[in-house]
Amino acid sequence: MVNDKDSQTNSPNSDPASGQPGDGDRRLDGLQMSPDLMLDLARQAAEIVVDRTRRLPEGIAWDGEFREVLAEALMEDPPEQGRPGAEVLERAARDVLPLTLRLDHPRSFAFVPTAPTWPGVLAEFMAAGYNINACTWLVASGPSQLELVVIEWFRRWLGYPEGAGGLFTSGGSAASLDAFVAARQAAGHPERATVYMSDQSHTAFLRAAIIAGIRRECIRRIPTDRHFRLDMNALAESVAEDRAAGYNPVAICANAGTSSTGSVDPLGPMADYCAAEGIWLHVDAAYGGFAVLTEEGKRALAGIERADSIGLDAHKWLFQPYEAGCLLVKDLSTLEKAFGVKCDVLQDTIWGGDHPNFADRGLQLSRSFRALKVWMSIQTFGMAAFRRAVANGLELAARAEDYISASPVLEVVNGASLSIVCFRVNPADAGLDESTLEEINRKVLAQVFWDDTAFMSSTSLRGKFSLRLCIINHNTTWADVRATLEAAERFGTQALDDLTP
């Protein structure tokens, strides 16, 4: 709780009480705080966050509230006079921050979560405290060099050729937008441009294509095989048809881990095809990319190094706080050709070819210093620990699949692909139709949630309503996964019993 003994005052107009006897500093002055107050608040914020993180595994994975309740609590005019910073922190920690899906809870398996490491969190604080704008070399040479270093790490991990490079972005969505713009530019910015992606590709790609100015009717969604991998023949047919009809293919997107099933498209054959056809290949590795840190993942993603561009999210399987996306391109000049513009007011910022201005590689001018998170957490824990943490997800997903296969109640809908397993309640020989199965599994999903066991999500796989676990939290153990599957079995059995009159 707030310690009031410092008699702090937050109104610059009131009597400026000093923080400590003898220091003579006003604790607030205009928009400034005295160093002792800054430290007090920083310590309080750190204590709140550390305590929240320590208690996370025992607590619920989700909390939320309806809008009218929250509006009642939060909708108000901004105060004319400030109040003690400690109170403001407390209020945020009590009324705002907990009302979320706790994506770093060890039993948070929905969507694609992340569980950031503490050095990554501190890096956000440090970058904000030093007020870094990673826009140009002149403005931020240290941060720019560090971004080059971390991008170089990623390049090596992916087996991407020397000379490849890129930049940090807000996330996979921004990476895909930048990739489409680079691809279109590399294709000569033709009229009637078309792009190709599978029916499993992330909606971020639809949106990015629309923003990039690709007409909706020029976005092709290619069917997938029974393991949800893009069908090469269908792709080749679609491109050939389009070319015959006067369209101009500018990019083909491959998945290196779809968010629905973790499926990996045939990257090698797609790279062969794109090379032969002269079409840009972008690989969406937002979820799956960092699997390359393990031998198993490297095998699964073989061919990724042949793409023209790759999008990765360090705020997923590299355990960083949001936002930490990244785009790498095989030929760096393609990015600078697409995004470099001359700007009079920034004319002093040109240091020459060896001193990149990251603002010339993408959408953003003012940019936060995202590379620092990755760098600080890897410097602190070392690569061995990161490899182990990535492998944890792969191992637990494989083990979950084994458990589901052996269960009399559960059925594997799509086996572990990277770290995602899709399954449902469907006892062998029960002979239940799809709509009954959907009803039962919706119930199971809701009950696992209301029981506070875990937070899962579902997906629809060729019309099959399927439960889904995405296991990429370094803190998740087999006990967490097993408890979740056992709950699904238990609630599934109940739902089946309720069926028979």
Ligand X SMILES: *Cc1c(COP(=O)(O)O)cnc(C)c1O
> Which residue ranges make up the site for ligand X (CB under 6 A)?
112, 171-173, 202, 204, 258-259, 284, 286-287, 313, 325
- Give the C-alpha separation, 103 to 339, whole Å: 34
Q: What is the nearest approach in angstroms of ligand X to the Cβ of residue 438?
A: 24
Q: For tokens 């807000």, what's the residue?
A: 170
- Enumerate long-range contacts of 1-8, CB under 8 Å, 24 or more apart: 1/90, 2/84, 2/86, 2/87, 2/90, 3/86, 6/37, 6/40, 8/37, 8/84, 8/85, 8/86
- Give the C-alpha separation, 319 to 103, whole Å: 11
Please state the φ and ψ torsions of residue 273, each to the nearest 5 degrees.
-65, -45
| End-to-end Cα spacing for the chain | 55
Tally of CB atoms within 10 A around 166:
28
Q: Which is nearer to ligand X, 394 or 488 (CB)?
A: 394
Q: Which is nearer to ligand X, 107 or 316 (CB)?
A: 316
Q: Which is nearer to ligand X, 137 or 168 (CB)?
A: 168
Q: Which is nearer to ligand X, 111 or 351 (CB)?
A: 111
Q: Which is nearer to ligand X, 86 or 291 (CB)?
A: 291
Q: Which is nearer to ligand X, 111 or 273 (CB)?
A: 111
Structure tokens at 286: 């937002």
Q: Which is nearer to ligand X, 219 or 430 (CB)?
A: 219
Bond from prior residue into 323 cis (ω within 30 degrees of 0) = yes
Q: What is the nearest approach in angstroms of ligand X to the Cβ of residue 290?
A: 12
**What does each C-alpha distance from 160 to 20, 90, 283, 317, 483 come to in angstroms?**
56, 47, 12, 19, 40
Q: Which residue is nearest to ligand X (CB)?
A: 171
Q: What is the nearest approach in angstroms of ligand X to the Cβ of residue 256?
A: 8
Q: What is the nearest approach in angstroms of ligand X to the Cβ of residue 418?
A: 10
Q: What is the nearest approach in angstroms of ligand X to the Cβ of residue 420?
A: 10
- Residue 364 carries which DSSP code? -
- Give the C-alpha separation, 4 to 40, whole Å: 12
Q: What is the nearest approach in angstroms of ligand X to the Cβ of residue 491?
A: 27
Q: What is the nearest approach in angstroms of ligand X to the Cβ of residue 258?
A: 6
